Amino acid sequence: MRAGERGPTLLEDFVLREKIFHFDHERIPERIVHARGSGAHGVFECTKAIPDLTKASIFQKKGNSCPVFVRFSTVAGGAGSIDTPRDVRGFAVKLYTDTGNWDLVGNNIPVFFIQDAMKFPDLVHSVKMEADRGYPQAASAHDTFWDFIGLMPEAMHMIMWAMSDRAIPRSLRMMEGFGVHSFRFVNAKGEGRFVKFHWKPVLGIESTCWDEAVKIAGADPDFHRRDLFEAIDAGDFPQWDLGVQVFDEAWAAQQPYDVLDATKLIPEEDIPVEVIGRMTLNRNVDNFFAETEQAAFLPTNIIPGIDFTNDPLLQGRLFSYLDTQKSRLGTTNFHQIPINAPKCPFHNFQRDGMMQTLVPTGRANYEPNSLAEAGEQGGPRACPETGFTSFPANGERNDPAQKLRVRAELFADHYSQARLFYRSQTENEQAHIASALVFELSKVQLEHVRVRVVSRLRNIDETLAKRVAAGLAISLPEKAKAAKAPIDMKPSDALSIQKQANGTLKGRKVGILFAEGSDKAAIDALKGGIEKAGGTAFLVAPKVGGIAVKGGTLKADGQLAGSPSVLFDAVASILMPDQAEKLSKEGAAVQWFMDAYGHCKTIAHCKGTQPLLDKAHVEPDEGVVPIEDFLKTGVKRHWAREPRVRDLA
Ligand code: HDE
């Protein structure tokens, strides 16, 4: 859209702007590793039930099946690099089971370069393009990689695999896959065993020759992606058997290597691989970006019956993948993207965030809640029978600790210090707590919620509970059962604000009210004294422009109606009687003193102010002082006054 046939393009052309705007943002950050990948959908079927080993629902019955999504990848190259470099291949499987997504994020090599997650960024930095020159792309044949490797003897086993023909596969359909780490199977009795996962290609394992791989890179950089796509398209569905090596701690303890060390494999001759399922890839993606690119694999996606071990490499991964998806997909709600969303019902109290697409109903978005007691939707509950629970005993050598979702015994004392706090307050402060509770609970509409809180107050202080119950006009409920009986601690003055009040003017703000005819010298003297003591004086008058006072003219900092006494820590007034008389018909002026009095502030005044004080019902007390005594009295709350302005019962 332009102004005239050959005129300037109009900003109004939202069609142009929206199209270009969207195009400008079509890319997301590529994966820091495994950037180049190819994905496909399929199905997994259990071919042998293993309920003795795991309670995972998918393995309970032969024939159980679930949809899967698989993404194969190279590790070092960028998203647009070639398919056939010498490299490890990623073999990431997402199984959408009926108890949630299980992501088995493995490689085509059963061991890894490093033993501990701490070294992963170093490994990846060393193999990627060199930092200054930005090359080589998708290749490990360069200084920094081999420098790092030479300094990391633990990498040598993996190097054997990476330098073997395994690292130049003929086809993605002809690669083995490995979970690499020792994972754990947990059965319904709660017994745990170690498990290593293997994917065995039905087509067998096949590799290229190095010379071939190099030539293919030029002839068809998409060799593997094309091969996978075309095979599935032609109905020639690739398949893998899922095998497991299962062993226990006693067996592990006998081995000359640590089963938690990801640079070690378990020879199949020692523990045979038992086949328990078969995966068939039978559907290409409809949209590469929406599915393959947005697929977010997380080793933390596990299901009841499968658990982690203390493998330090695995433990690091448990953090890393969640974190990386946030930066790659831009939002904590990446789970909601169709390729990542579970295909079984799921519930949680996670809410909001960028790109939220779900519209949860009801007000239950926290746990615990008792909304259901009032017939409201209370939301999901943790279910120890069907939900995920962590395997408690780590069971590994030198690790006597138990993983428990618990709090230590003494944490069960919930009341002793609440009682200490309440009992350390002055009478006024206790009254404030009681009225705050009455106010808050009076706003609560769910009767049982209100009653439950009062029943808990009885564990803190019986009089407090009684006061609140009386304030709400409800009968005192039964005392809530305390997990641990509270003890009486010695009250502490440091917990009370009032017991520490010192009357200082430092940092405090004093409002000084004046009007026509007020004594400028007295105002200046008061202001000077306040400032000298570190406070601020703020002049308030019915009008802000300069007004005639005794001794000259004076400008106010704020107009009376716009400068209520709540803005000040204390107030003072220097007024001629006729002006005070006049102001006593002025709501803002009367309220000024009424509030200051009601809020227990120091009120310093000259004699002339009296008519206004009378109108505001300001009664004499130790906080209502002649103007000359203001600096001596200081800025504090005169709590002794409070029972006269408020019912503290
Ligand atoms: Fe990964 N790895 N990794 N990794 N990994 C990623 O996650 C990481 C490791 C593997 O197709 C990243 O989503 C750390 C072992 C595959 O989307 C990142 C450590 C194994 C894929 C990440 C490891 C893998 C990734 C980058 C050491 C084989 C591709 C983008 C503690 C068992 C998944 C992403 C896909 C991807 C971190 C080690 C396999 C950065 C910190 C060992 C197949 O989170």
Residue range 277-329, pLDDT digits in tens: 999 999 999 999 999 999 999 999 999 999 999 999 999 999 999 999 999 99
Q: Reply yes or no on whether the pLDDT at 568 is more than 80.
A: yes
pTM over 0.80, yes/no: yes
Q: How far is the CA of 34 from the centre of ligand 1 (A)?
A: 7
Ligand 1: centre distance to CA 321 (Å): 7
Model confidence at 398: pLDDT above 80: no
- DSSP codes of every residue in 242-288: EEEEEE-HHHHHHSSS-TT-TT----TTTSPPEEEEEEEEEEE-S-I
Which letter does DSSP use for residue 563 in this model?
A: S
The answer to whether 398 and 432 are in contact (CB under 8 A) is no
Taking the CA of residue 313 as reference, the ligand 1 atom at the shortest distance is: 31
Residue 196, beta-bridge partner list: 245
Asked whether residue 25 carries a pLDDT value surpassing 70, the answer given is yes
Specify the domain boundaries for CATH 2.40.180.10 within the chain: 34-325
Work out the burial of residue 194: count CB atoms within 10 Å of its CB; fewer than 13 is exposed, 13-18 middle, 19 or more buried: buried
The pLDDT confidence band at residue 153, using thresholds 50, 70 and 90, is very high
CATH topology of domain 412-498: Hemocyanin, N-terminal domain (1.20.1370)
At 498-539, the pLDDT tens digits run 999 888 999 999 999 999 999 999 999 999 999 999 999 999
Distance (Å, whole) CA 347 – CA 388: 13
Cβ distance 420 to 492 under 8 Å? yes
d(CA 513, CA 538): 9
Question: What is the rounded average pLDDT of the residues 328-343?
Answer: 97
Beta bridge partners of 536: 509
Question: Which atom of ligand 1 is closest in space to residue 92's alpha carbon?
Answer: 43
* 174 CA to centre of ligand 1 in angstroms: 21
Active site residue 107: yes
Span 398-421, average pLDDT: 89
| Among protein residues, the one whose CA lies closest to atom 39 of ligand 1 | 106
What's the rounded mean pLDDT across residues 209-221?
98
Judge contact between 292 and 51, C-beta under 8 A: no
Ligand 1: residue of 297, 300, 319, 326 to mutate (most ligand atoms within 8 A of CB) is 297
Instruction: Summarize pLDDT for 616-644 with one digit per residue, the tens.
Output: 999 999 999 999 999 998 899 999 999 99
CA distance 611 to 265: 95
- For residue 416, the surrounding DSSP H or E stretch is helix 416-423
**Which residue of the set 101, 107, 108, 428 is catalytic?**
107
Summarised one tens digit per residue, pLDDT across range 465-482 is 999 999 999 999 999 999
User: Could you give the residue range(s) of every CATH 3.40.50.880 domain in the chain?
Assistant: 504-645
- What residues are designated binding site for heme? 31, 71, 120, 317, 321, 328
Atom of ligand 1 nearest to the CA of 314: 31
pLDDT tier at 60, thresholds 50, 70, 90:
very high
Residue 112 Cβ contacting ligand 1 at under 6 Å: yes
Q: Tell me if 117 CB under 6 Å of ligand 1.
A: yes
Query: Which CATH topology does 34-325 take?
Result: Catalase HpII,  Chain A, domain 1 (2.40.180)
Where in the chain do CATH 1.20.1370.20 domains reside? Answer: 412-498
Considering only CA atoms, which residue is closest to atom 23 of ligand 1? 317
Report the candidate in 42, 28, 37 with the shortest Cα–Cα distance to residue 297.
37
CB 603 within 8 A of CB 627: no
Q: Is the pLDDT of residue 395 over 70?
A: no
- DSSP state letters, 311-356: -HHHHHHHHHHHHHHHHHHSSGGGGGSTTTS-SS---------TT-
According to the model, what pLDDT value does residue 549 have? 97
Average pLDDT, the chain: 96
- Residue 33 CB less than 6 A away from ligand 1: yes
Is residue 37 lining ligand 1, measured as CB closer than 6 Å? yes
CA nearest to 141, candidates 35, 213, 80: 213
The encoded tokens of residue 515 equal 């009007």
Residue nearest to atom 24 of ligand 1 (CA): 106
Contact between residue 458 and residue 479 where contact means Cβ atoms under 8 Å apart = yes
Proportion of the chain above pLDDT 90, given as a percent: 94
User: 3-state secondary structure string, 9-61?
Assistant: ECCCCHHHHHHHHHHHCCCCCCCCCCCCEEEEEEEEEECCCCCCCCCCHHHCC
Quick: pLDDT tens for 34-45.
999 999 999 999
Q: Confirm or reject: Cβ of 295 under 6 Å from ligand 1.
A: yes
- Domain at 504-645, CATH from 3.40.920.10, 3.40.50.980, 2.60.40.10, 3.40.50.880: 3.40.50.880
3-state secondary structure of 606: coil
Q: Is residue 304 a contact partner of residue 276, using CB atoms and an 8 Å limit?
A: no
Q: Return the DSSP state at 478.
A: P
Whether the pLDDT of residue 394 is over 80: the answer is: no
